[in-house]
């Protein structure tokens, strides 16, 4: 593969020397090698995961690059266990609710921070951001005690609330930069056209900030979907367990067997929604992350 890219790149490099000054610079051949190496480096672990998930029994201890006897047994067995399907449902509920609340509350907060005249806006935004720098382990233990006392321990809402502590700063930060870029005149035009403040927000500001909302939603969803530390601290039974925790609790057929095959299969399954989301929206994610960097 590397050889092929070098072969392709060479004529391009020659051509570049001939083209006039001011033409688009072509990609140098060595960059292709570097890029290919990085891509392989990133994808090999995932390939290994898929590889293991297709193996059973003695094959698991082998290091074959291609499974000698590929089988979907692992997949079949995880979907037969109710603890995994329940965990999938829990994960979906927790992630979607966190995303929804994070977007709605975050959008209102970000709009206020971007538009309203109030003192201490910069400080407020600074505080919101500083929350994201707290290590989660610092709140895990206190939350465990608190949740036990007030009855939120081992509940889904007990997960959504702490998840909002990282979802909100993220969405506020991204959305503030989006809202700031929307000319104020547009809202004023809507107000004069007969809109209430909320209508101006919903019909003019929100549609224009849609790329930012999509980015925020996806990033929040991914973070909530993958979260492990709080989920494992704050849940105890399959009723409230999310998938990452459930996978860690998989048991082998004996105490001494590591359930590698089923864990890999489950990991592949929970990666699929994220892969689809990111592939669908990757342009918007990039646009959202770089918003405000340059004037469009």
Partner 1 sequence: MAEILLRQMTKRYPDGTEAVKKVDLDIGDGEFMILVGPSGCGKSTALRMIAGLEEISDGDLLIDGERVNELAPRDRDIAMVFQNYALYPHMTVRDNMGFALKLAKDDPADINRRVEEAARILDLEKHLDRKPANLSGGQRQRVAMGRAIVRSPKAFLMDEPLSNLDAKLRVQMRTEVSRIQQRLETTTVYVTHDQVEAMTLGDRVAVMRSGIIQQVDTPRNLYERPENLFVAGFIGSPSMNFVGARLEGDTIKLPFGETPLPDELRGRLKGDGKARDVIAGMRPEHFEDATVEPDRPGLKFTAPISVVESMGSELYAYFDVEHGHVESSDLTELAADSGMEDLPQHGSGDTQQVVARLSAASDARPGGSVNMVLDTTHLQLFDPSGGKSMTVE
Number of shown-chain residues binding partner 1 (CB under 8 A): 17
Cβ neighbourhood burial of 175 (10 Å; 0-12, 13-18, 19+): buried
Which one of 69, 196, 236, 248 is in contact with partner 1 (CB under 8 A)? 196
| Min CB(185)–partner 1 separation in Å | 4
Q: Under the criterion CB under 8 A, does residue 204 sit at the interface with partner 1?
A: yes
- DSSP for 164-198, written as a single string: HHHHHHHHHHHHHHHHHHS-HHHHHHHHHTT--HH
Which one of 2, 7, 193, 257 is in contact with partner 1 (CB under 8 A)? 193
Sign of CA dihedral 106, 170, 154, 53: positive
* Token pair 């407020």 in the structure block, residue: 124
Q: Under the criterion CB under 8 A, does residue 96 sit at the interface with partner 1?
A: no
Q: Under the criterion CB under 8 A, does residue 185 sit at the interface with partner 1?
A: yes
> Which segment (43-51, 53-61, 123-131, 180-188) binds partner 1 by CB under 8 A?
180-188
The span from the CA of 254 to the CA of 152, in Å, is: 34
Angle at 247 between CA 241 and CA 252, to 5 degrees: 125
Q: Under the criterion CB under 8 A, does residue 194 sit at the interface with partner 1?
A: yes
Q: Between 16 and 284, whose beta carbon lies closer to partner 1?
A: 284
Q: CB within 8 A of 222, min separation 6: which ones?
A: 274, 277, 278
Q: Under the criterion CB under 8 A, does residue 190 sit at the interface with partner 1?
A: yes
> Which segment (96-104, 199-207, 242-250, 258-266) binds partner 1 by CB under 8 A?
199-207
Residue numbers at the binding site for partner 1 (CB under 8 A): 183, 185-186, 188-196, 199, 203-204, 207-208
């Amino acid at each position: 593969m590397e050889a092929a890219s070098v072969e392709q790149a060479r004529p391009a490099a020659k051509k570049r020397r001939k083209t006039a000054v001011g033409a688009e610079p072509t990609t140098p051949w060595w960059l292709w090698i570097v890029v290919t190496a990085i891509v392989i480096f990133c994808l090999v672990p995932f390939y290994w995961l898929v590889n293991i998930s297709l193996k059973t029994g003695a094959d698991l201890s082998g290091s074959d690059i291609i499974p000698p006897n590929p089988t979907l047994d692992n997949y079949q067995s995880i979907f037969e266990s109710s603890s995994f399907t329940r965990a999938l449902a829990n994960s979906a509920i927790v992630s979607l609710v966190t995303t929804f609340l994070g977007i709605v509350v975050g959008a209102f907060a970000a709009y206020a921070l971007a538009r309203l005249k109030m003192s201490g806006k910069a400080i407020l935004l600074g505080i919101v951001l500083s929350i994201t720098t707290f290590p989660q382990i610092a709140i895990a233990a206190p939350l465990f005690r608190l949740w036990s006392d007030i009855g939120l321990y081992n509940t889904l809402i007990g997960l959504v609330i702490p998840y909002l502590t990282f979802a909100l700063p993220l969405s506020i930060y991204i959305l503030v930069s989006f809202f700031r870029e929307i000319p104020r005149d547009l809202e004023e035009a809507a107000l004069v056209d007969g809109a209430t403040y909320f209508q101006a927000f919903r019909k003019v500001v929100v549609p224009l900030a849609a790329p930012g909302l999509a980015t925020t939603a996806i990033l929040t969803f991914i973070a909530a979907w993958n979260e492990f530390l709080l989920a494992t601290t704050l849940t105890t039974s399959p009723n409230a367990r999310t998938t990452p925790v459930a996978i860690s609790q998989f048991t082998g057929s004996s105490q001494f067997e590591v359930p590698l095959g089923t864990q890999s299969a489950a990991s592949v399954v929970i990666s699929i929604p994220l892969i689809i989301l990111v592939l669908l929206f990757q342009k918007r994610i990039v646009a959202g992350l770089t918003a405000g960097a340059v004037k469009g």
